[in-house]
Each structure stands twice: as structure tokens, then as C-alpha cells.
Amino acid sequence: DTGVSQDPRHKITKRGQNVTFRCDPISEHNRLYWYRQTLGQGPEFLTYFQNEAQLEKSRLLSDRFSAERPKGSFSTLEIQRTEQGDSAMYLCASSLGLAELPTDTQYFGPGTRLTVL
Amino acid sequence: AQSVTQLGSHVSVSEGALVLLRCNYSSSVPPYLFWYVQYPNQGLQLLLKYTTGATLVKGINGFEAEFKKSETSFHLTKPSAHMSDAAEYFCAVSVSGNQFYFGTGTSLTVIP
């Protein structure tokens, strides 16, 4: 299966530690998105890449968050100095990127569940 | 600003009964509307989407939704529920196409 994969699936860390998550999109997908989902809520958009360029960032993405997609393939999301409020499911999605955005279907990965103690 | 309201965080239906999951949106410009389904321990999967054209949209697994501009609604329906339909359903709206605003989700339980 060549769907979107995320690693790790679960991460438990102590407050103040740094964490990094990885997302591998579907091969040849040009667009990659990061979302955050807290319990009882829908996913919230964090940021979006077109190839290696980070084109949009939500105001939810504080200075402690950084995302990269260095070669236009996999992406990493790093959270520095984690806080308990960062506990959430972090979702990655990718899309082909050849069509106008609304018609460009996003395929989601299973997510990385972060717990900050 | 765009937003989505899903009425009913939990919906239970009997197997074979009609499924109706409600979604109302708020948008100052014509929106693009989506329904996603999330099965346990799996990623979100697109059920259907409305961008332009026909207001009745058919999706996978027998689901469909109708865009009603006058009611600012995009309710999801399925004529006959199946046990495998039990999942979390999310409605989403986008106007720019790159920022999606999701609702809080509706958990569907199918009773045998």
C-alpha cells in the first residue's frame, strides 16, 4: 500500500522536550498539509507545502512549531519546548497538486498521537 | 470567516434505516464543501465534495449530500445504514482551497 504514512504513531514526552514527526506522502504528490486534531474537535489546518515551498501557515503555528519539506518529498514537523496544550493528534495529508486546489483530493495519513506529560 | 457546525455529536440509527448527518456552514463567499469519514485508527477518507455544478453530490459507499445555499447546509445522507458505516464523520468548508475548516465531527453508531 502506498498511502500517506506517519512516524511515529504515538509519542509520549515530558513538558519542555522537543519532538519531531515525519510524514511520507503518496509518491508524486506535490502538496503536503499538516493538521492538528484535539479530542472532540475536527482537524485544524497548520501549514501547507507545494513541493518544497511552505506556502501558508496558520496562526495556530506558533514560533515553537516548524515544518520542513526539504526535497519536496517527506516532511517533518518539529515542536520545541513542548507544552501540555500541544497534546493532540497530528495529521498529515497529501494531494497531487495538479488541479485547482478545491478539486484536489487530500489523502490523510493515520496521524501521530502526541501526549505531553 | 468560514466555519462549520455539525448538529449532533452522536447519531444512532438502526441497520437499514436512513442516515442523516447535518452540516451547516458559514461563508461570505461561495464555499467548497466536503464530507470525510474516519474509521478507528485510520486516516480521514474523502466521502464526497461539492465544488461547483450539480448541487446533489454522490460519494462513495452510497452516501450523498445536497448543497442548499438558501439554507447554508450540506447534509449527508444514506438511504440504508450498514454496520460498516459506523465511524466518525466530518464536514469541512474551504473558500481558498488550501485552508480547510472542519466541524467537530459526528459519531455514527449503527444498531443491529
Share of chain B above pLDDT 70, in %: 97
Asked whether the beta carbons of A91 and A9 are under 8 A apart, the reply is no
Q: What is the pLDDT of residues A57-72, one digit of tens each?
A: 888 888 999 999 998 8
Q: What is the pLDDT of residues B9-49, one digit of tens each?
A: 999 999 999 999 999 998 877 788 999 999 987 889 999 99
**pLDDT value, residue B82:** 96
Share of chain A above pLDDT 70, in %: 95
Rounded distance between C-alpha atoms, residue B17 and residue B12, angstroms: 10
**pLDDT value, residue B30:** 78
Identify which of A57, A54, A104 has the alpha carbon closest to the alpha carbon of residue A75: A54
Cell numbers linked to B95: 473558500
Rounded distance between C-alpha atoms, residue A6 and residue A91, angstroms: 8
**pLDDT value, residue B98:** 67
Total residues belonging to chain B: 112
Would you call the peptide bond into A8 cis, given omega within 30 degrees of 0 as the criterion?
yes
Question: Per-residue pLDDT for A54 more than 70?
Answer: yes
Q: What is the pLDDT of residues B60-94, one digit of tens each?
A: 999 999 999 999 999 999 999 999 999 999 999 98
Question: Per-residue pLDDT for A105 more than 90?
Answer: no
Which of the 8 DSSP states describes residue B72? T
B105–chain A Cβ distance below 8 A for any pair: yes
**pLDDT value, residue A59:** 84
B99–chain A Cβ distance below 8 A for any pair: yes
| B43, B90, B97: residue with CB nearest A101 | B97
Asked whether the beta carbons of A3 and A107 are under 8 A apart, the reply is yes
Range with the poorest average pLDDT among A26-40, A69-83, A95-109, B91-105: A95-109
Rounded distance between C-alpha atoms, residue B47 and residue B97, angstroms: 17
Distances (CA, A) of B22 to A74, B36, B104: 36, 13, 12
Question: Per-residue pLDDT for A1 more than 90?
Answer: no
**pLDDT value, residue B97:** 63
**pLDDT value, residue A102:** 64
| B32, B36, B43: residue with CB nearest A109 | B43
Share of chain A above pLDDT 90, in %: 72
Q: What is the pLDDT of residues B48-63, one digit of tens each?
A: 999 888 899 999 999 9
Asked whether the beta carbons of B24 and B72 are under 8 A apart, the reply is yes
A95–chain B Cβ distance below 8 A for any pair: no
**pLDDT value, residue A101:** 63
Cell numbers linked to A28: 508524486
Concatenated DSSP letters of chain A: --S-EEE-SEEEE-TT--EEEEEEPPTT--EEEEEEE-TTS--EEEEEEETTEEEEE-TTS-TTEEEE-TTSS-EEEEESS--GGG-EEEEEEEE--SS-GGGS--EE---EEEEE-
